[in-house]
Amino acid sequence: MKVIAVSNALRSLVNPLRRSLRAAALALSLAAAGPAMAGEAPLKFKWGAPTADYYPLYVAIDLGLFEKHGLAPEFFWFPTGAPLLAGLKSGDIDVVTTGLATVFALGQNIPLTFIGWETDSAAGAGLVVSPDSGIRDYRDLPKAKAIAAAPGTCAQTALALAARKAGVPYDSLKVVNIPPPLYANAFRSQSIDAGLTWGPYAQTLAEQGLKVANWDEDFAPDGSGVCPSLIGGRKAFFAKHPEVPAKLVAIRAEALAAIERDPQLAIKALVNRLSISESAAKALFERTWGEHMPRFEQELSPDSPFSLVAARGGLAAKLHLAGELLHEAGTLAAPLSWEQINAAIDPSYIRAYVERRNQAQGGSQPKENRS
């Protein structure tokens, strides 16, 4: 009993101290989160991302928001998440924006911290079919002679979800490994008659006369798909530079506000970065903006599909489900544990930004309920 009493007494002293230290560290990072002071040298670091529908990031670059906040990221654009993973594992990449490469990074025990969403890439993703294939929707997938779905990607998780909802075993489908940039040629040569893909490929294929039979939301558990694109970084880098994630949140807020005022900023950024037509960029933007774009209030709500604070819901649930699906498909060695996932999600930077903004506006502050 004396040992327990001493342990409790020590805990009562240590816990407030830990909270005070965390609060002090966060206050320091917030103090540095504003625009850079004149004469300050911008902080240089390396940022990795696949080329995808990340238009808030593109707009932030185009508007010079990183320089405004005293940051000088060197961007490395990858065709897929595989080389990005190698850069993270070696420590060459400090900050990352990516989709399901996050699941493989956690599966390989790469110590990462995710501070928020970039886009919900599932919103612009779907099942594309040849119009004369006889495939009306995901329930007809067993009829397909060949379905394109690159392993370890959002295409594979989407196909696994579609198979689940259709009530057919994944391994009974005729799946071929073709990356989305090659879908157009594969459809033309009749090598495939169906394919799961994300934006902008779903939109560009539709422009070429193919049919989007379903969007991911049609067979997703909560109607929002399982392809979260996140902003994160190596834990050691964020610990050394806590002002960086705080500034990244502020930069995202400014980019989203700019897009709200002028959506053409996002559309032009997609045209320029992805080399697609304006009509395809507009279609992709309209699919992924509005209710499909994660906002800070949703990321701090335990009931949102974009929640960062729900330990077994929101983002955590999506990453957990993605891990299960990829493991069942044989591309991930083991599913992710809830502990692995929650240890990597840190909503404190968004919460601090929202609290500071609300205090400046005299508004209310959302309460965090990580449960």
Q: From 197, 198, 196, select the one nearest 163 (Cα to Cα).
A: 196
Rounded mean pLDDT, 329-337: 93
155 in Cβ contact with 86 (< 8 Å): no
Kind plus residue range of the DSSP H or E element containing 59: helix 55-62
In this prediction, residue 39 carries a pLDDT of 61
Band (78; pLDDT cuts 50, 70, 90):
confident
Angle among Cα 24, 25, 27 to the nearest 5 degrees reads: 65
List domains and CATH numbers for the chain. 32-121+227-361 (3.40.190.10), 126-218 (3.40.190.10)
Q: Is the pLDDT of residue 319 over 50?
A: yes
CA-nearest of 53, 115, 51, 114 to 83 is 51
d(CA 318, CA 368): 19
Tell me what the pLDDT averaged over the chain comes to.
88
Q: How confident is the model at residue 87 (pLDDT cuts 50, 70, 90)?
A: confident
Confidence of residue 305 (pLDDT cuts 50, 70, 90): very high
Q: What pLDDT is stored for residue 36 in this prediction? A: 56
For the cut 80, the answer to whether the pLDDT of residue 303 exceeds it is yes
Residue with tokens 């809830």: 338
Q: Answer yes or no: is pLDDT of 362 > 80.
A: no
Q: Model confidence over 243-296: pLDDT tens digits?
A: 999 999 999 999 999 999 999 999 999 999 999 999 999 999 999 999 999 999
- The string of pLDDT tens digits covering residues 8-34 is 433 443 444 444 444 444 444 444 455
Helix 264-274 with 55-62: angle, nearest 10 deg: 100
The candidate with the shortest Cα–Cα distance to 245, out of 110, 123, 352, is 352
Residue 8: the pLDDT is 42
- 159 Cβ partners below 8 Å, 6+ apart? 141, 147, 149, 170, 173, 175, 196
**Which helix (H) or strand (E) element contains residue 240?**
helix 235-240
User: What pLDDT sits at residue 23?
Assistant: 43
* Structure confidence at residue 84 (pLDDT): 85
Q: What is the mean pLDDT of residues 79-107?
A: 88
pLDDT for the residue 323: 96
Query: What is the CB neighbour count within 10 angstroms for residue 188?
Result: 12
pLDDT digits 0-9 by tens, 65-75: 999 999 999 99
Residue 35 has pLDDT above 80, yes or no: no
| Per-residue pLDDT tens digits for 154-213 | 999 999 999 999 999 999 999 999 989 999 999 999 999 999 999 999 999 999 999 999
Q: What pLDDT, on a 0 to 100 scale, did the predictor assign at position 28?
A: 43
220-230: average pLDDT: 87
- pLDDT given for residue 324 in this prediction: 95
d(CA 66, CA 247): 8
**Whole-structure pTM value:** 0.86
Cα distance between residue 171 and residue 115, in whole Å: 35
- Residues 6 or more apart in contact with residue 146 via CB below 8 angstroms: 174, 175, 176, 191, 192, 193, 194
In this prediction, what percent of the chain has a pLDDT beyond 70?
87
